[in-house]
Chains A and B, each alone.
Chain A
Amino acid sequence: MDLPSALQRLSAYRARSTRASQDIFDKGLVVLNSKSASKLGDDSWEFLEQLALAAIDVGRIDIADQCLQQLIDKFPGSPRVDCLEGIRIEATESPEMALKFYEELLDADPVNAAFWKRKISVLRRMGKIERAVEALVEYLDTFYTDVEAWAELADIYSSCNQYTSAMQSLSHVLLLSPQNPFYVLLFAETAYTSGDVPLALKMFLNTIDMADTDEDSLPPTGMLIRAWYGVKLCTRRLLKDTRLSSKSASHTPVPGSLSLIDSLAKERLDAAYQDAQDGPCAKLVPSWLVQV
C-alpha cells in the first residue's frame, strides 16, 4: 500500500463520512507510521480525528489514544476534541462515566448539539428510555430542524409501543424532509402497526407515488416492493372488515376504488416475483397473494 493512494482513499472517506473503519484503520496506520501526517497541513488534524474514530471502532484503543493525545495537545479545550474524548471513554469505561463526562460538558456549554446527541445515545444504550426521551425532547425543542433526531425519537417511541407519539414525531420528520420516500414508508408502517389502516394505505400509496420512476412497465424493486406489500395488506384487511374504516384514529377516509387498488397491488407484486422461478418466493408469494 503506497502512501499517496492511501491518503487519497482516506480523504474520499472523509468527504463522504463513510464508516469503513477497518479500511480506514489499515490505511491510516500506514500514514501514521510513515510520519507524514504533518505534511498534510491542516488536513492532518481531520485525518487524526478520522483515524481515532476508526481505531475505537475496531478496538485498537492504543492507536486511538495516540491520535487523541496529539489532538488534545494541539486543540486544548476544543469541543470537537472533547466529543472525541467522550467517545473514547464510552469505548472502555462504564456508560455512567461517559454520561457524567457529557453532562459536565453540557453544563459548560448547553448549546453544543454534538454533546447532546452523544448523551442521548449513551442514555438509550443504558436502557434509561425515559431519560433519553426527556433529553431528546429537550434537545429538539431547541434544535427543531434535526431530522435524524426526530427519527430517533420516533424509533424510541415505536420501541415502547407508543405508536401515536411515534407518528407525531414522524410527521415532523416528514415536514423537515418531505422529499424522502423512506420516511413516508416508515410513517405508513407505523400507522399500520398502530391499527390505523386507512391512513397506512394512503401513506403506502404516497410512497409509491413518490418513489416510482417513470418506467412503470418494469417490475417494482427495493422499497417499492415493500410499499406494495403494505398496500396489499391494507386493502385486504379493509375489504374483509368494513368496520375497520371507521376505526381510523386520524379520520382518514377509505378510497372508494379499494378493489381496483387491491388488484393493482396483486399485479405489481406478481410482476416483482415473475423472475423468481425457483426459490421459496416463487411459490409462497403467489399463494399468499390469492389468499383472502
Chain B
Amino acid sequence: MSSNAVSLYLDPQIRDWVLFPITLVMILVGILRHYVVILLQSQPKKLSRAAIREQRALVRAQILRATSAKSPIPPTYYKSISQHLSKAFNDGTYLKDGPPEGDAPSKPPNPLTDPAAMDGMMSGMKTQMVMMVPQMIIMGWINFFFQGFVLIKLPFPLTLGFKSMLQRGIETPDMDVRWVSSLSWYFLNFFGLNGLYRLILGGENAADASRDMASPFAAASAAPQAPGQAQDYNKLFKTERDNLEFAEGLYSWVGNDVEDRVLRRYGKLP
C-alpha cells in the first residue's frame, strides 16, 4: 500500500472544473426533470357518469353477496334486489354505451383507437422522453470532454471486482481500484442521487431517473395499463350473475331464528 500511496497526483482544477460540475449538473437536471414531469402530467381525465355507473355496478352485487349467508334483510327484499340485479346484468342496463344490440360477439376495444387509452400511453411516453433525453446529452457531454479523466480517489480500499464499475472508460489493468473515472462518476451519481432528491423535493418526486431506467419496459408498459386495460364489463356482468345465483342459494335471513336467540340469552329457553 505504502509504495503506491502517491502514485497519482490529481490536479485540483480537475476537482473544480470536472468533478463538481458533473455532480452539480446531474442534480440540477434531476430537479428540472421533476418539474418538467409535473408540467407534462395531464389532469386525470374525468370519467363520465355512465362510466362511473358501469364501474360501480359490480359493487352492488358484491355488497349483496357479502352478507348473503347471514343477510340483514328479509327474503322478499333480498330476492327482489337479487333478481333485479341479475336481470339488469343480463340486459346490460349498466353498460356505459347502453345494452348491446343483437348477440354480436363483443370484442375488447383496441387501445390504439380509443382516445382515452391513447392519452394514457402518450403521457407514459412523454415521461420516458423527459428522462432519456437529458441523460443521453449528459453522457455525451462527459464522453466528449472528459473521456479518460480520473476524478476522485475513494477513501476506502475495494476489491478488484469493482474495477469495471469504477474505472469505466479507462483501460488500465494496474491502476488502484480506488480511483474513479469520469464516466463511472456519472453512473454513481445517476444511481446514487435519489436520496438527495428525496431530501430536496420530498418523497414523491419524479427526479430519480434510475428508477425508470432500471426497468425501462416496466415503466413504459405500466403507465398505459391503468387507462388502457379495456375491461369487458359485459363479460364481468355475466359472470356476476352466476355468483348472484350461488349467493341466493346460500341466503338465509339473520332474523330466521332471532326470537330463539333472544329468549335463550335471557334464560327463557334452555
Contacts and interface: CB of A to CB of B under 8 A. Distances in A.
Interface of A: 109-111, 141-145, 167-168, 171-172, 174-176, 178, 184, 199, 201-203, 205-206, 208-209, 212, 216, 249-252, 255, 257, 260-261, 264, 267-268
Contact of A174 (B49, B72, B75): B72
Given A171-B81, A250-B76, A176 B63 contact: yes
A202 B74 CA distance: 9
B67 A178 contact: yes
A117 to B, nearest CB: 15
B59 A145 contact: yes
Given A110-B49, A111-B47, A175-B72, A206 B258 contact: yes
A152 B112 CA distance: 44
Contacts of A145: 56, 59, 63
A3 B46 CA distance: 41
Contacts of A260: 263, 268-269
B266 A264 contact: yes
Interface of B: 46-49, 52-53, 56-57, 59-60, 63-64, 67, 71-78, 80-81, 254-255, 258-263, 265-266, 268-269
B83 to A, nearest CB: 13
A175 B269 CA distance: 30
Contacts of B268: 260, 264
B262 A209 contact: yes
B49 to A, nearest CB: 5
Given A110-B49, A144-B56, A145-B63, A171 B260 contact: no
Given A111-B49, A111-B52, A144-B56, A209 B263 contact: no
B254 A144 contact: no
Contacts, number: 95
Contact of A251 (B76, B259, B266): B76
Contact of A171 (B77, B262, B265): B77
B263 A175 contact: no
B85 to A, nearest CB: 10
Nearest to A174: B72
B248 to A, nearest CB: 14
B255 A205 contact: yes
Nearest to A258: B259
A141 B53 contact: yes
A209 B261 contact: yes
Of the listed residues A142, A175, A261, the one surrounded by the most CB atoms of chain B closer than 10 A to its CB is: A175
Contacts of B76: 249-251
Contact of B64 (A110, A175, A252): A175
Contact of B259 (A110, A144, A167, A205): A205
A212 B265 contact: yes
A256 B255 CA distance: 14
20 contacts: A110-B49, A111-B46, A111-B48, A142-B53, A142-B56, A144-B59, A144-B60, A167-B77, A171-B77, A174-B72, A205-B262, A206-B255, A206-B258, A209-B258, A209-B261, A250-B74, A251-B75, A252-B255, A261-B262, A267-B266
Given A144-B63, A252-B74, A257-B263, 17 more contacts: A110-B49, A111-B46, A111-B52, A142-B49, A144-B57, A144-B60, A145-B63, A175-B81, A176-B63, A202-B258, A205-B255, A206-B255, A249-B76, A250-B75, A257-B260, A261-B262, A264-B266
A261 B53 contact: no
Contacts of B78: 171
Nearest to A178: B72
Contacts of A267: 266
Residue from B48, B56, B57, B266 whose CB has the most chain A CB atoms within 10 Å = B266
A114 to B, nearest CB: 15
A109 to B, nearest CB: 7
B176 to A, nearest CB: 51
B72 to A, nearest CB: 4
A145 B250 CA distance: 23
Return the 5 tightest CB-CB contacts between A and B, nearest first. Answer: A202-B255, A255-B259, A171-B77, A171-B73, A174-B72
A251 B80 CA distance: 14
B185 to A, nearest CB: 39
Nearest to A106: B49
A249 B74 CA distance: 11
A249 B77 CA distance: 11
Nearest to A176: B63
A145 B80 CA distance: 18
